[in-house]
Amino acid sequence: MINVKDFIKKLNLEVLSPTTRKEWEINTAELNRPGLQFVGFYEHFAYERPQVVGLTEMAYLESLTDEVRRERLEAYFSRPIPCVILCRGMMPTQDMLELATAHDVALLRTQLVTTRFFGNAMNYLNRCLAPRATLHGVLVDVYGVGVLITGESGVGKSEAALELVKRGHQLVADDVVDVCRVTDSRLTGESPETVRHFMEIRGIGIIDIKAMYGVGAVLMSKSIDLVIHLEAWKEKKAYDRLGLSEDFTTIMDVRVPQLVLPVRPGRNLAIIIEVAARNFSLKHMGYSAAKELDRRLNEMMMGMSKQED
């Protein structure tokens, strides 16, 4: 379901004829251009989508006689369409206004050209219709990398995030992260509106990051590129010391790289998370320090072997 007021506000649309409906039952991010419908062809008509009228469709309607145009529009508006958007700031015909009002169809207008509006509207609908979930963790932007910090309650997630904010990075969400799967391989996270920009620090209470550190210390949303899981140090557990292998975790059927960081007194988690974010960026650019060291060692061993021969 798509909220009517939010759709109009986010896409900066002008209301020419309002609707009494508060929500539209739209289940796809696609839009429809009704050129064939204005001609009279209704087979495979995607009436459940927002209808976008561009310059070509409007020019065709204006070329018709008043009687024929009203007949075509009557047939068109009789279908259960959610809304009609006129692009390029075009004026609707009088019969279009009358029929939209009579059939309770929202008639809207944008100043954008048709292709530009298509892109904006599809992006908006994709975000609204994308699968969502709520996770326990902290989401921060570190050097442009969206880092989701997870771990048991009290392990130090918020404290690490606070130190990162002090070092110039940005907080997206603390404790509760609303996750949205915008594509089959991309996740974004944001904070619920009621707790946005707030952080809980044990012993102090609730603090407002935006008020304390400025608007540059917070972000509304961020992609989730890397998961860092904090856990209490286990003496007998073998932690990765080379980084040759990559671990992943699955969130909403999307595989995300994951690091497990052991926590014990004296470790500066903020600096370690910064290094993890920079190392993640380097790997995306094709450079791995662990693989480079492995290559050098192999070359050295091969050189020593040849000398012995």
Closest CA to 73 of 38, 33, 36: 38
Name the active-site residue from 169, 175, 225, 229: 175
Closest CA to 223 of 180, 260, 287: 180
- Does the annotation count 136 as an active-site position? yes
- List, as own/partner pairs, every contact residues 41-48 make where C-beta atoms lie below 8 angstroms and the sequence separation is at least 24, other chains included: 42/75, 42/79, 45/79, 47/79, 47/80, 47/81, 48/80, 48/81, 48/82
- Does the annotation count 237 as an active-site position? no
- Does the annotation count 157 as an active-site position? yes
Name the active-site residue from 21, 116, 136, 234: 136
Residue 276 CB neighbours (<10 A): 20
Name the active-site residue from 237, 241, 264, 306: 241
Closest CA to 139 of 219, 251, 210: 219
- Does the annotation count 306 as an active-site position? no
**Which residues lie across from 177 on neighbouring strands?**
135
Q: Amino acid identity, residue 212?
A: M
Name the active-site residue from 33, 49, 157, 181: 157
Q: How far apart are the first and last CA of the chain?
A: 74
β-strand pairing of 198-201 with 205-208? antiparallel
Catalytic residues: 136, 157, 175, 241
